[in-house]
A and B are shown apart, each in its own frame.
Chain A
């Protein structure tokens, strides 16, 4: 069976930022939707712990859950449809009887709400903005990985 790609969108907050989650320390931060779509950012550093990995490993738990639910629903839809087809196929057959049990119940859609509870920082090294919850202004730049002092924006 070939692979199936399911497209779905991840909401941005009012300022156009998307939430990411560090796969090492599990803390959340945000980068702009533009930076998230920029394919040259093939890896990201966590602004809190400074560890680095491929950017697609920074998807938040909520986004992963949404993706899982969509994938499961696609599978359930296929299996339910398959059961209906088999039922139709053998309806008039005297030798084979098909008995359908209850259908797979579809998952309710996962709604992601982008809360805006982080401060916006300007990064002097890469001249970009991120959102994070910092104790002080020291952080690692998600793009170049260097230590930096984020300047509060606004």
Chain B
């Protein structure tokens, strides 16, 4: 699937990113966790930015240990190398969003002030702003590359986001819809098991399984063939109707169809 992005669309993404980043950087400590979640949700669901994060997020850090071992009034051991710095800060923020009860948990005693807000401000100034700055520089670079009449194409094919300028060559690849493909594979596995309960002959069951397998493989490929996906959808729809009211087959079938329709 290819998403074409013109200058206006690019600017909407860029402005929204900076708006949410600003909101987090200037957050009241009581609203920190919500603003962090808003910020992370946006960058994770925006292919143009997620592509950049995934490109750099290649080292896994033991964030729980990092938080526990940090001394009061000392900073985190943020790596010097750019990619590792991006990965470390992203994982730290992600850990907080998923495991902490409040934003202050990862900001505690980061600054010298007595108030909670002082610690949050210091953490934002010293940690989050560096992360935001890396993304801002990346987006600015993309903007410059677009040129006066430029356009960006983001290909979300085969679990990869590929960005090309105008008619140029694809030069950046990164898995964007990895989670979606994993979900689809898991649903397909469920589907294969559930279809066994259907009262149709074994050959029809095998045919349906086979076309679903092929469709899932197409989704992972660079250029998914629409005809195969359409054919798979028809087969799944038919099996779903036959299985209506039985053991959840219809629900799973609907979910698979929803996934596959994204690639049409």
A57 to B129, CA, bound (A): 17
Which segment of A6-14, A46-54, A82-90, A126-134 sits at the interface? A46-54
Contacting residue for B140 out of A53, A57, A147, CB 8 A? A147
Q: Mark B8-29, 1 if CB is under 8 A from A, else 0.
A: 0011001100110110011000
> Which residues of chain A have C-beta atoms less than 8 A from B72's C-beta?
none
Given the interface contacts A24-B129, A145-B15, does A51 sit within 8 Å of B21 by beta carbon?
Answer: yes
A-B contact count (CB 8 A): 40
The answer to whether A49 and B136 touch across the interface, beta carbons within 8 angstroms, is: yes
The answer to whether B25 and A147 touch across the interface, beta carbons within 8 angstroms, is: no
Interface centre among A45, A52, A53 (most CB of B within 10 A): A52
The answer to whether B11 and A53 touch across the interface, beta carbons within 8 angstroms, is: no
Contacting residue for A50 out of B10, B18, B26, CB 8 A? B18
Tell me whether A81 is interfacial, beta carbon within 8 Å.
no
Contacting residue for A51 out of B18, B143, B144, CB 8 A? B18
The answer to whether B143 and A49 touch across the interface, beta carbons within 8 angstroms, is: no
> Which residues of chain A have C-beta atoms less than 8 A from B19's C-beta?
52, 145
> Which residues of chain A have C-beta atoms less than 8 A from B41's C-beta?
none
Contacting residue for A145 out of B18, B25, B129, B143, CB 8 A? B18
> Which residues of chain A have C-beta atoms less than 8 A from B15's C-beta?
45, 144-146
> Which residues of chain A have C-beta atoms less than 8 A from B132's C-beta?
51
> Which residues of chain B have C-beta atoms less than 8 A from A51's C-beta?
18, 21-22, 25, 132
The answer to whether A147 and B11 touch across the interface, beta carbons within 8 angstroms, is: yes
A37 to B144, CA, bound (A): 32
Which residues of A42-74 have CB atoms within 8 Å of chain B's CB atoms? 45, 49-53, 57
- B binding-site residues for A, Cβ under 8 Å: 10-11, 14-15, 18-19, 21-22, 25-26, 129, 132-133, 136, 140, 143-144
